A and B are shown apart, each in its own frame.
Chain A
Amino acid sequence: MGDLSAAFALALDLVLSGDPALWEVVALSLRVSLTATALACLFGIPIGAALAVGRFPGRGAVLVLVNACMGLPPVVVGLLVYLHLSRAGPLGFLGLLYTPTAMIAAQCILIAPIVIALSRQVLEDLHAEYDAQFRSLGLGRAAVVWALIVDGRHALATVALAGFGRAVAEVGAVMIVGGNIDHLTRVMTTAIALETSRGELALALALGVVLMALALGVNAAAQGARLAGARHAAV
């Protein structure tokens, strides 16, 4: 328990001292994971909605596949992205390996199945509820998808937060494609891995506490926005 309390004290100390190195890492973590989440939602939610509404042969198999991909191991995603972005790989000419862009791509791939699968489930339930209404209005497919997304936005915000949580917490993918380069691609999780391998366990744990606080902050902000939105709608 000594380690634990030391870690909390150290975490507080790190935050209060305004260590620029820490803020650099925190800012990159937020930038990478929020961007990856935004991108994954941009593509994932419409795909999820289309899967929720659409009926086509092989749909069941696609759903199983997407659901299974929620369990993609980050290291495997990291390796796949590495093999593509490596100079020896098909996309090597882009020169993206060891950049935040590569990390965003990896996290986006990692969480896209989560966003697709969860939004499909949420919107399918919603669709079942409103199906008769949509029919009576004679809405087209695209209009139905849009109406579902707008109506399900609160649940979809939770879907986005689940994706963000997975992205900001993973270390395997960003370690491989980012390289944990100081001042360039070091994020909270790779910094924690680095301090652990230096044997600085209290510092590693302190960074973990900061990361948790960060996740808490993002979730609180989302909750705040939701409440504000609900109040606005009520007026």
Chain B
Amino acid sequence: MTARGWMAAIVLLAAPPASAERIVVQSTTSTAHSGLYDHVLPRFERATGIDVAVVAVGTGQAIRNARNCDGDVLIVHAEAEEEAFVAAGYGIERHDLMANDFVLIGPAADPAGVAGLPIADAMTRIAEARAVFVSRGDDSGTHRAERRLWARAGVDAAAASGAWYRESGSGMGATLNVAVGMDGYALTDRATWATFANRGDHAIVVQGDPSLFNQYGIVAVSPQVCPDGNADDAATFVEWMLGLDGQAAIGSYVVEGQVLFHPNGQADAMPMRSRPTR
């Protein structure tokens, strides 16, 4: 090959792919890592011909990326932040999509003796026992929920940061790996735990408390703020996810006999937009 041929080959290899109809979903990690999207998205792609690219990061980062217009749809689990995102004009409207629950996991020996307690008592007891608790520490949806639970239990966990309270500053899976390695407790969502392979001798110690409810929301990014986005396909996606097909797809994702995400979207609550003609 000539030098010019080599140059052409390099340029060709570096060139971006022809953009098909594609939307970018900025998502929390639990939905992606648990395999939910692998179960749901092929159905959507078959039905509509729209490709969905999922960027799975923590809720905080997902919202920041969406604010930069680097996503067309947001699927996260921090309702207050989602509402703020919409109120600031970045999103069109926030909808409930599905729910599951947080669980407290801990070593089988349960050094703080919290098994079966209400979550607030469990967290108080962990603090009193100064048992190792591994926090996400990354502003994610789970981290926010965890801080809410500490506040409700009246514990200033952050003050013990570096002592028994350890902030991993990383994703859910990495945090669970640390918790397992340190024989510590950690808060996670049921879907992530159910599909997490490196559980060691850890198990769920607290679950079923109403304050452990975990709601996921879906928001389409506003074309007014992000005119270069793919708003039409994003609207199609949100409608589909909230509609019968999407909700049925979510509800039919079962791992080890349990439904990991309970669909609770309300398609009726959604104002139908005028469909663009294609």
Task: Say yes or no for A223: interface residue by CB 8 A criterion.
Answer: no
Task: Say yes or no for A136: interface residue by CB 8 A criterion.
Answer: no
Residues in chain B near residue A95, CB distance under 8 A: 16, 19, 228
Closest to A96 in B: B16
Task: Say yes or no for B112: interface residue by CB 8 A criterion.
Answer: no
Stretch of A144-152, A177-185, A213-221 lying at the B interface = A177-185
Closest to A83 in B: B68
The A-B contact count (CB < 8 A) is: 90
B49 smallest CB distance to A (angstroms) = 15
The 8 Å CB contact of B177, one of A86, A99, A105, A199, is A199
Residues in chain A near residue B38, CB distance under 8 A: 182
Q: Is the Cβ of B174 less than 8 Å from the Cβ of A197?
A: yes
Q: Is the Cβ of A182 less than 8 Å from the Cβ of B54?
A: yes
Interface size range of chain B in the complex: 35 or more
Stretch of B141-149, B159-167, B195-203 lying at the A interface = B195-203
A126 smallest CB distance to B (angstroms) = 22
Q: Is the Cβ of B17 less than 8 Å from the Cβ of A38?
A: no
Q: Is the Cβ of B173 less than 8 Å from the Cβ of A196?
A: yes
- The majority secondary structure among interface residues of chain B is mixed
Q: Is the Cβ of B17 less than 8 Å from the Cβ of A87?
A: no
Q: Tell me the complex Cα distance, A98–B57, Å.
A: 13
Interface size range of chain A in the complex: 20 to 34
Interfacial residues of chain A within 75-100, with CB under 8 A of chain B in the complex? 86-89, 92-93, 95-100
Q: Is the Cβ of B69 less than 8 Å from the Cβ of A87?
A: yes
Q: Is the Cβ of A198 less than 8 Å from the Cβ of B70?
A: no
Task: Say yes or no for B24: interface residue by CB 8 A criterion.
Answer: yes
Residues in chain B near residue A194, CB distance under 8 A: 33
Contact status of A199 and B53, CB under 8 A, knowing A95-B228, A101-B14: no
Q: Tell me the complex Cα distance, A99–B14, Å.
A: 10
B67-111 Cβ-contact flags toward A at 8 Å (1 or 0): 111100000000000000000000000000000000000000000
Q: Tell me the complex Cα distance, A182–B67, Å.
A: 23
Interfacial residues of chain B within 197-229, with CB under 8 A of chain A in the complex? 197-199, 226, 228-229
Q: Is the Cβ of B174 less than 8 Å from the Cβ of A196?
A: yes
The 8 Å CB contact of B13, one of A35, A42, A182, A197, is A35
Q: Is the Cβ of A39 less than 8 Å from the Cβ of B196?
A: no
Task: Say yes or no for A31: interface residue by CB 8 A criterion.
Answer: yes
Q: Is the Cβ of B196 less than 8 Å from the Cβ of A198?
A: yes
Residues in chain A near residue B196, CB distance under 8 A: 198-199
Q: Tell me the complex Cα distance, A228–B120, Å.
A: 71
Q: Tell me the complex Cα distance, A187–B265, Å.
A: 34
A203 smallest CB distance to B (angstroms) = 8
Task: Say yes or no for A156: interface residue by CB 8 A criterion.
Answer: no
The 8 Å CB contact of A198, one of B14, B16, B67, B197, is B197
Q: Is the Cβ of A199 less than 8 Å from the Cβ of B173?
A: yes
Q: Is the Cβ of A197 less than 8 Å from the Cβ of B173?
A: yes
Task: Say yes or no for B234: interface residue by CB 8 A criterion.
Answer: no
Task: Say yes or no for A161: interface residue by CB 8 A criterion.
Answer: no
Closest to B171 in A: A197
Closest to B198 in A: A199
Q: Is the Cβ of B69 less than 8 Å from the Cβ of A88?
A: yes
Closest to A101 in B: B16
A13-49 Cβ-contact flags toward B at 8 Å (1 or 0): 0000000000000000001001100110010000000
Could you name 13 residue pairs across A and B whose Cβ atoms are closer than 8 Å?
A: A35-B10, A35-B14, A87-B226, A88-B67, A179-B24, A179-B55, A180-B55, A182-B54, A197-B29, A197-B33, A197-B171, A200-B197, A201-B197
* CB-CB nearest 3 A-B residue pairs: A197-B173, A199-B198, A87-B69
